[in-house]
Amino acid sequence: MKTWLRLIVLIFMSTALCAGQVKPNSPTEVAIRAGKVLDVRTGTYASDQIVWIEGDRIKAIGNAAEMTGKLPPDTKIIDLSQSTVLPGLIDCHTHLTMTPRDSGPAGLHLSYPRQALTGARNARVTLEAGFTTVRNVGASGYSDIALRDAIKAGDVPGPRMLVSGPPLSITGGHGDENFLAPQFDWSSDGVADGVDGVTKKVRENIKYGADVIKFMATGGVLSEGDNPALAQYSPEEMKAIVDTAHGLGRKVAAHAHGAGGIKYAVLAGVDSIEHGSYINDEDIALMKERGTYLVPTVYLEDWLIENVQLLGLTPNMIEKAKLVLPIAQQNLSHAFKSGVKVAFGTDAAVYPHGLNAHEFGKMVEMGMSPLQAIQAATLNASDLIGWADRVGTLEPRKFADIIAVQGDPLTNVRVLENVQFVMKGGEVVKTQ
């Protein structure tokens, strides 16, 4: 018996010693040697730079000749001396747990667990495309919360996520499920009506882990039987949503196509207007006055029109897409040129995940400069989501979320469609 006790003690001691050992050749710090680093605040480049990374944060950035002597001898060097280096990109409007073919009645066949597993695939693809942070604004069954937590735990690869859970919708509106016959007596899990109803639903979403609140201020395009041009919630309901969310420390995103719904949402105090298809001069003036962000989601308009017959949409949804999307391009271009604050968002899931960076080219085509488009996905996006202290720029003490491309994105923003290197939190995710 004593022999067995001694053996157990020796095993435990050996395990403890092994656990405490550090591999002698394992570098504790990493340095990226960058050909050019883009300062997204000023739109200027610094050449031949070292980005010194300690753990998951940037420790310092400076000229390679000056920095090299300061690095510890075991620092791992990543050579990006032929590349342009930028902060990891931020997409403020994604639906990682959905795909383009879920938009029509086919989505009824998907369970919440299946949607979460779909999200795991889409999270990896999105991260590899250079988007190291996303705001997921709408998912059924709190599947986006499960995905966020799995990424945090290291179970699956993916971007940093802020998530909304089920978006709030009126009964029968955009966000409800209108494909089922009355005998099924079923509504989507975000449906809430009246001031008391929406107040309770906001609290419920936060109870189950929502970082941000999303609500449908107007009808939508890819939904059955509602009108994108018309407001859904009343001004009183919208104010109750915003006041409840803000009171509990959450920002609010409003899906809004119609001009009236945009106006009501801005007056209610939302932090961002998503889509903004029918935005007019009154809306623009209100948004500029109150500092409300526009998240325009413009590339989907081209992709959807080209592929609308392939997605299993209903005739009503196809008709709305053909009506609304060309109008949206004109109005949003006017909004860009009028100086509304813009944060980058794609609505990825309406088109395939991983194509998020195609949004940049469309934004520039519609009147933004390449730098403005990049700022929308870095500086502005980090401000909108409330994470300006940790992402959006390459600065000491911020997360080491870094991408690299070949070429000059300030000359040709479309080079961002082919990101060749991705690092998230000091860990290399992709390299070519």
Q: What is the 3-state secondary structure (H, E, C) of 391-414?
A: CCCCCCCCECCEEEECCCCCCCHH
Q: If you search the block for the tokens 């309406």, which residue do you land on?
A: 350
What is the distance between the alpha carbons of residues 182 and 146, in angstroms, rounded to a whole number? 31
136: three-class secondary structure by DSSP: strand
Q: Residue 403 pairs with which residues in a beta bridge?
A: 86, 422
Closest by CA to 392, choosing from 406, 405, 382, is 382
CA distances (Å), 330 to each of 287, 315, 335, 337, in order? 18, 24, 9, 11
Question: What length does the chain have?
Answer: 432
Neighbours of 305 (CB within 10 A): 13
The one catalytic residue among 193, 211, 347, 401: 347
Alpha helices for 291-408 (secondary structure H)? 299-307, 315-337, 358-365, 370-376, 379-385
Closest by CA to 415, choosing from 129, 159, 40, is 129
Q: Which two tokens stand for residue 246?
A: 């803000």
Q: Which two tokens stand for residue 362?
A: 């469309």
**277 DSSP assignment:** T
What is the distance between the alpha carbons of residues 255 and 19, in angstroms, rounded to a whole number? 50
DSSP per-residue letters across 24-68: TT--SEEEEEEEEEEETTTTEEEEEEEEEEETTEEEEEEEHHHHG
The sign of the torsion formed by the CA atoms of 90, 96, 100, 104 equals negative
CB-side exposure of 420: number of CA atoms within 13 Å?
13
Task: Return all residues near 273 (Cβ < 8 A) that are at least 6 apart.
Answer: 254, 256, 262, 265, 266, 279, 283, 287, 292, 293, 294, 295
Closest by CA to 288, choosing from 328, 342, 330, is 342
196 included as an active-site residue: no
283 included as an active-site residue: no
What is the distance between the alpha carbons of residues 146 and 3, in angstroms, rounded to a whole number? 48
The one catalytic residue among 102, 201, 211, 214: 214
Cite the active site residues: 214, 347
